[in-house]
Amino acid sequence: MRGPGGGTEDLPTPRPGPSQDTHDSHDAAPGCASCALSTGGARLARLGLAPGRHDHVVALAGNPNTGKSTVFNALTGLRQHVGNWSGKTVARAEGGFTYGGARYRLVDLPGTYSLLSTSADEDVARDALLFGQPDVVVVVVDATRLERNLPLVLQIRQITGRVVVALNLVDEARRHGLTVDARHLTRELGVPVVPMAARRNEGIPDLLAAIAQVAGTEDAPAPLRLVHKDPALEEAVTELAGRVAGRFPGVPNARWVALRLLEGDPGIEAAVRDGTLGELATPATPVERAG
Amino acid sequence: MTLDEMPRDRRGVVTALDTRGAERRRLMDLGLLPGVSISAELRSPLGDPTAYEVRGTLVVLRGHQARTVHVELEDR
C-alpha cells in the first residue's frame, strides 16, 4: 500500500501508487471550476479521474448504502455508478479535487459495518485506513439509521483522530420527523460532524471546510481509547499495547492493534510479523525537516 | 427463547449471544447486540433462512445462527 509520509503542509512527496504519476498537466478545466460554483463555491475544483499530484489523501468510509458514492461524486465531479444495493463499490474508486489551493486525492472504500470481521471488503477498508494512513477519513453515516452507523465511527476513531463525520441523508431524516443534534454529536465524538444531503449538494461546502481543517491541523485528536469493562481484558490489552508500542515506537493506535492481536486477527498478526506495522511509526504528524 | 422460535407477529429484545469468535463478531457488527429490538419479517418456506428486522434494516440469518441469539418477547 502507500508508504509513509504524512500529508503535511506543502510537501510534494509523491506517494507510490497507481494513479498519480500522470496527467499533471491536466489541471482543473475552467468549465469545471464554474460548475463547482453550484456546489462548493469557487474554491472547489473537481479533478475527476486526473488527480495528479496531491497534498492530502482523503478516505471515504461508511456503512453500505449511506451515500458514500454520492458524496464521492459530489466532490470529484465523477459519475461513479450510484446504485441502491450493497457491495456496489467492490474495490476502491479514486478521484481528486482541489480546495483552498490544496490538491486532494479521494479514495472511496467499500461499504462495511465493521473493520473487524474477515470479509474481503472489510479487509480493503481496514488496510486502507490503517496502513494507508489517510490525512482525513470521512465517515459517511445515514442520519436515519444513526444507531446502526455509529459502531463503525467508533471503530475508526480507535484507529485515528483525523476523522470527519458526514451526517448524510438529513433530508430523508427530516421527512421521517428526525433531527440529529450534530453539535452534540461533534462534542461526543471529538471530531467534526457535518449534516448534509449529498444528492442535493446540501452541506458540501461545510464538508470541504471540515476536510481542509482536519487535513491542515497538526494536532488532530488522539485515537479514541476505550477502557474495557472486563478487568482481565483491560489488563491484557494494556500490557500487550505496551509491548507493541515498545517494538514499534510511534504507532498511533497501539491499543487497537493489541486488541486485534488478542482476537487473532490474521492481517494484523502478519503486519506485526513482517514489520509493516513499523511503517506506521512515521505518522501523519509533522516530521522534522532537514535543513 | 432463541430467535428461531420467536413468533412472526411479535418483537423481541436480544438478551445474549451464545456464540464466540468471528461468528459472534459478525452478529454484533450486524447490530445484534444485547438490548436491541428485533422481529422476524420474512421466512423462507422451511424457515431457514429467515430475515429479521433490526435497527432499521433486514438481516438474514440461518437457523443455526438464529439459535445462538437469545431473546425475550416484548409486550404487545
Residues B43-56: what's their mean pLDDT?
A: 88
Distance CA A24, CA A234 (A): 50
Is A46 part of any domain?
yes
Position B11 scores a pLDDT of 93
Nearest CB partner across the interface for B22, out of A117, A148, A151: A117
Residues A170 and A248 in one domain: no
Whole-structure pTM value: 0.76
Neighbours of A57 (CB within 10 A): 27
Residue written as grid cell 437457523: B63
Is A14 part of any domain?
no
Position A12 scores a pLDDT of 40
pLDDT along chain A (291 residues), means of 10: 39 40 38 36 56 82 90 80 51 81 89 80 82 92 93 93 96 94 94 95 95 93 86 94 90 88 86 82 43 37
Is A20 part of any domain?
no
Residue of A nearest to B25 (CA): A117
Inter-chain touch A145–B56, beta carbons under 8 Å: yes
Structural domains counted in chain B: 1
Residues A161 and A78 in one domain: yes
Residues A131 and A189 in one domain: yes
Cα distance from B20 to chain A (closest Cα, Å)? 11
Give the residues across from A167 on adjacent strands: A141, A195
Is A17 part of any domain?
no
B56 touches chain A (CB under 8 A): yes
Is A260 part of any domain?
yes
Cα distance from A145 to chain B (closest Cα, Å)? 7
Inter-chain touch A113–B22, beta carbons under 8 Å: no
Structural domains counted in chain A: 2
Domain end call among A167, A187, A216: A216
Nearest CB partner across the interface for A148, out of B22, B26, B55: B55
Domain end call among A190, A216, A242: A216
Residues A71 and A98 in one domain: yes
* CATH code where residue B20 lies: 2.30.30.90
Contacting A residues, span 155-174, partner chain B, CB-CB under 8 Å: none
Residues A59 and A118 in one domain: yes
Q: What residues in B contact A151, CB-CB < 8 Å?
A: 29
Is A18 part of any domain?
no
Position A28 scores a pLDDT of 37
* CATH code where residue A155 lies: 3.40.50.300
Cα distance from A168 to chain B (closest Cα, Å)? 16
Is A8 part of any domain?
no
Position A265 scores a pLDDT of 82
Residues B16-20: what's their mean pLDDT?
A: 92
Cα distance from A77 to chain B (closest Cα, Å)? 30
Residues A242 and A210 in one domain: no
Residues A158 and A46 in one domain: yes
Q: Which of B24, B57, B59 to mutate to test the interface with A (most CBs of A within 10 A)?
A: B57
Distance CA A245, CA B35 (A): 36
Instruction: For residue A119, count CB atoms less than 10 angstroms from its CB and return exposed for 0-12, middle for 13-18, buried for 19 or more.
Output: middle
Q: In this structure, which amino acid lies at residue A171?
A: D
* Domain, as residue range, for A271: 231-281
Is A224 part of any domain?
no
Closest listed residue to residue A132, CA positions, set A263, A283, A266: A283
Inter-chain touch A148–B56, beta carbons under 8 Å: yes
* Domain, as residue range, for B9: 3-73
Residue of B nearest to A262 (CA): B21
Residues A126 and A238 in one domain: no
Nearest CB partner across the interface for B25, out of A116, A144, A147: A116
